[in-house]
A and B are shown apart, each in its own frame.
Chain A
């Protein structure tokens, strides 16, 4: 919406943040089986004193290992769950108290749970959204046309959803979440299981959406490339606490993330004498693996190897998010230990 940029930030409430969390907590009482009929009660702090703000129009990657508190946070932000403590506002609304009012302002895509109608043509699901959200006719048509164009849905509208591929369905789901002009879009693993072409389409669309409408996007993912290509900011959560909040490059430094260069040589050779800080970590016949910090460019290393060795093929592997976080976590704990005495 055009008025979004000017008005959104100010009317969002909670200072300059559009999404504000102030020491938000979520504590669950988990009952576990402790023998026949006996249950043990245990308090689990899924989200622990979490504070952050997201400005209008930001695209933020929200990552962390499974069970870190990611989905609990998203559920509180969408009004599904009520926080146990702290203050939470989305577009000036308290999500848990005004769930239906908030619903008009947010779009949610649950990666593996489609909200589309399985047996009906895709367009029918959109018609339901049109009526359920009471979207003005002209606005609906305009938005639908734009989605169809950007997400390449033209040939799919009359196809029953059950006949769509995973990538087509994901694009369909994203369109369904955006027809009512939400100011915030929550995406849960939007590219999981998609092929490269679909991933590229989805990412290009999200960039376009963000640029065109200043839609605030919060996405959880296991795919670092999603974040690399979309998010200027990453938040890492683990054990319900915010471990990192900043640009992706900084995350690699903090986590000492390493990329891997896989080199195929013409023949078996002794380990490559790689330029520092790259180093050979594994040799298997004519194939060698080199590790180097993710914050460094691969170009000079590749150039040097190409110049000095009989190179057949090579590929670069990005660090795995889980590994980066695990290292970051271990690193912090280590530093804390050293600082303690």
Chain B
């Protein structure tokens, strides 16, 4: 079977399992309603914190509230999509420890798809909704000089950003094959990453910005494309086309994460721990 076949098989298995989890969630409707509302409120409060900060200052490292909202909206939406799709992967370590991963390995479906769909939680849609609301507010209040390229950059950036976060989730899960209690490390990169990106790059030290651009390329989720759309200089000296480089960066990240996953699974199957 080719890679395409495996991908189709994986997507199908993901859909089947996610569907079962949605039905499981609906077995407790009241509980679902409460956690969904709770999730929306908690993520909503996140942005309220930033608004409160702006009630005291007019700009944050040169960025106005609407501009920070633009960064926030892009990052939160991308992250929300990845979290909705793969958020449960951080539980892999637990499955490795208690041995339930084995039950997935005897099924005729890719393990990655099965682990990704495990405990699929529809309430996580709240984060995506909140991100889109903030993004909508930013677009409504900003006076952007739109060009075709900038318009196209919006959906491309969201999709690429989601793919980059997905790669981080998969790579983090792959690491848990080796270190089963590493879910906190993974959280530092995923939840930590999205929080970092919600602030302007100009707030941070050059070294950090460099790390986030060249080492773990989270800057391609929003900082670089947003700098172009907002017409703001990026703290590092970079050619103009990097604003459009998110898709190839996302593809590279996903490929690397895929390799890491394979290595992790291979190591599990040779050591069983």
Residues on A close to B: CB < 8 A?
28-29, 72, 75, 78-82, 84, 96, 99-101, 103-104, 106, 108, 110, 113, 115, 117-120, 124, 128, 131-133, 160
Contacts and interface: CB of A to CB of B under 8 A. Distances in A.
B202 to A, nearest CB: 40
Nearest to A180: B108
A79 B106 CA distance: 7
B56 interface: no
Q: Give the 10 A-B CB pairs with smallest separation, nearest first.
A: A103-B108, A119-B24, A119-B27, A80-B105, A108-B106, A100-B108, A82-B269, A78-B106, A115-B103, A82-B270
B28 to A, nearest CB: 7
B22 to A, nearest CB: 11
Contacts of A108: 103, 106
Interface residues on B, range: 20 to 34
Given A29-B271, A100-B110, A120-B27, 19 more contacts: A28-B271, A78-B105, A79-B105, A80-B102, A80-B106, A82-B266, A84-B270, A100-B109, A103-B107, A113-B100, A117-B24, A119-B24, A120-B20, A120-B24, A128-B17, A128-B20, A132-B16, A132-B107, A132-B109
Interface in B107-157: 107-110
Contacts of B108: 100-101, 103-104, 132-133
Nearest to B19: A128
B205 to A, nearest CB: 31
B38 interface: no
A80 B272 contact: yes
Given A124-B20, A128-B16, A80 B269 contact: yes
B57 to A, nearest CB: 46
A305 B129 CA distance: 81
Nearest to B98: A113
A245 B27 CA distance: 49
B173 interface: no
Contacts of B271: 28-29
Contacts of A79: 105-106
Interface string B254-273: 00000000000010011111
A196 B153 CA distance: 67
A160 B266 CA distance: 36
Nearest to A127: B20
Interface in B8-23: 13, 16-17, 20, 23
B192 interface: no
Nearest to A117: B20
Contacts of B27: 119-120, 160
A29 B106 CA distance: 24
A133 B47 CA distance: 45
Contacts of B17: 128
